[in-house]
Amino acid sequence: MLDIKFVRENSDLVKENIKKKFQEEKLPLVDEVIKLDEKIRELKQKGDNLRQERNTISGEIGALFREKKNDEANAKKERVVEINKELVDVEKEEDELSENLRTKMLVIPQMIDDSVPIGKDDSENVEIERFGEPFVPDYEIPYHSDICESFNGLDKESAGRTSGNGFYYLMGDIARLHEAVIAYARDFMISKGFTYCIPPFMIRSDVVTGVMSFTEMENMMYKIENEDLYLIGTSEHSMIGKFKGQLIDEKDLPIAMTSYSPCFRKEVGAHGIEERGLYRVHQFEKQEMVVLCKPEDAMEWYNKMWSYTVEFFRSMDISVRTLECCSGDLADLKVKSCDVEAWSPRQQKYFEVGSCSTLGDAQARRLGIRMKTENGNQYVATLNNTVIASPRAIIAILEQHYQKDGSVIIPKVLRPYMGGMEKIEKK
């Protein structure tokens, strides 16, 4: 959420930013919030004047009674009653307009960084760099679900009976591989100096609206019936919410955390065959990075964070690339974002395995997260990045380490977490 003072003083820049995100339908909001803000400030001034008048009159009443000027004193008391009635109406209107202003401000997108490429959607995202060469072996690589099933490691049919489409059972060596990747991701991030955390897996609505846009919320979140609770779609939601309403001492920044959680997502919309299996599911596990820092340090942390994900995948001999998200592909709270994508030798193209974003003070402003400095209190910057989303990491490992005999070589860094096992073989 932008600062209303910034919108008021830079309305043309805010409108231009909306155009860059191809959200022209939001342009009228800028003038609407400026008018609302003007009316609210008028009401605040009117309220202040009434309170000042009431304080002045209240001081005079006692003196008039002492001087036996009872009629004059009672007339002033009646004026105090009138002022109190006026203040009720003024404060009520101010509250209503302020809520209306906040609702509209939540829809206006965050100012994107100047370096973000301009484009309408993800088809116009820009490749930045490749790490490891994409390759295609001289033998066929099966669909990842078929590879898992050859190891008796995946049962979607039973999950369909218990839970419906988009769920799965992992078993045997595939389940062990899943846990190995999660455990390795945890230890990898701890070695980078991040504090390990397991957060709540449900959050209240005021936290949800603090960390994401309404559109994302509707498309992603599962709500608990008859409760003000939502299942998290990523641990970032809980981790940023942890600091809601907090004033953090500047010397305690940056705060760098790595968090584990299951994630729950609606994944609204129809998906093709490539997004079945384990690629797009309603439940998965994830290791996340979350950083709170000074605004001036945000871009340095952004570059560190995505590079950690690249380093993590390269340590498992997974070829990846980074992809800069264009303006039209950025969620409304994001200042800048890039995806890390793994190479699929079966499809002969890349697919997303992680996403890194800097959100400026958007989440901090919504949730009231500030830092205490010598120059007063300021909003912090927040960033998040995927270390791994476990199913997609498994897909990358299965495809890039699949052998001609149908076995899968286990990356060396994962073997200690799998009892020294070097490969998974057909059952």
The answer to whether 385 touches 355, Cβ cutoff 8 Å, is yes
- Rounded to 5 degrees, φ, ψ at 196 are -80, 140
Q: What is the pLDDT of residue 70?
A: 84
Could you give the CA distance from residue 246 to residue 364 in angstroms, rounded to a whole number? 10
Neighbours of 29 (CB within 10 A): 18
Residue whose structure tokens are 């990846």: 320
Structural domains in the chain plus CATH codes: 4-105 (1.10.287.40), 122-424 (3.30.930.10)
Residue 385: per-residue pLDDT: 97
Each residue of 391-411: pLDDT tens digit?
Answer: 999 999 999 999 999 999 999
Percent of the chain with pLDDT over 90: 86
In the chain, the largest separation of any two C-alpha atoms, in whole Å, equals: 108
pLDDT for 69: 83
Given strand 370-373, what is the order of strands in its sheet? 247-249, 370-373, 376-379
Segments in the chain below pLDDT 50: 270
